Amino acid sequence: MKKILIFDEPEIVSFIQGVADDRCEVVWASKDEDLLPCFQKEKPDLVLMNYEASDCGRFGKLLKEIRAESSEVPIILMSGHDVLSHMPGNVTGCIFKPLDKFFLESTLKKYKVF
């Protein structure tokens, strides 16, 4: 079974779990210091990561840590703001919040998570 690592608030994790249903496993990192250990332990097929352009230095550090582990795992940023003008080069794509169930399903299918 494919696995998604989510780095976001509990409400977003619950929403994504509802969309994923039993089609893939969902794991969650809630704090910066938990993200890399969770990535290393769980070996996800996709990372969905909350992104705030106002704090891009912090996210840049987290992204570099993940990319040092794997350049192959797709990283999708999730944001309620215009992320495209601030999007780091080492990410695969973005999803705009509020999340749309059908767009999220389409994205998960595109990256072959289910």
Indicate the domain borders of the chain: 3-110
CA contacts within 13 A on the Cβ side of 79: 19
8 A C-beta contact, residue 47 and residue 5: yes
Express as a percent the part of the chain with pLDDT over 90.
Answer: 75
Indicate if the pLDDT at residue 32 is higher than 80.
Answer: yes
Q: 72-101 pLDDT, tens per residue?
A: 999 999 988 766 666 667 889 889 999 999
Q: Where are the alpha helices (DSSP H) in the chain?
A: 10-20, 32-42, 56-69, 101-110
What is the C-alpha separation between 57 and 11, in angstroms, rounded? 25
Query: What was the pLDDT predicted at 42?
Result: 98
Query: What is this structure's pTM?
Result: 0.92
Residue 3, helix vs strand vs coil: strand
- The one-letter amino acid at 67: R
Residue 58 pLDDT class (50, 70, 90 cuts): confident
* Angle 62-67-70 from CA coordinates, rounded to 5°: 135
The CATH-assigned architecture of domain 3-110 is 3-Layer(aba) Sandwich (3.40)
φ, ψ of residue 3 in degrees (nearest 5): -135, 135
Indicate if the pLDDT at residue 31 is higher than 90.
Answer: yes
Over residues 24-42, mean pLDDT: 97
Indicate if the pLDDT at residue 107 is higher than 90.
Answer: yes
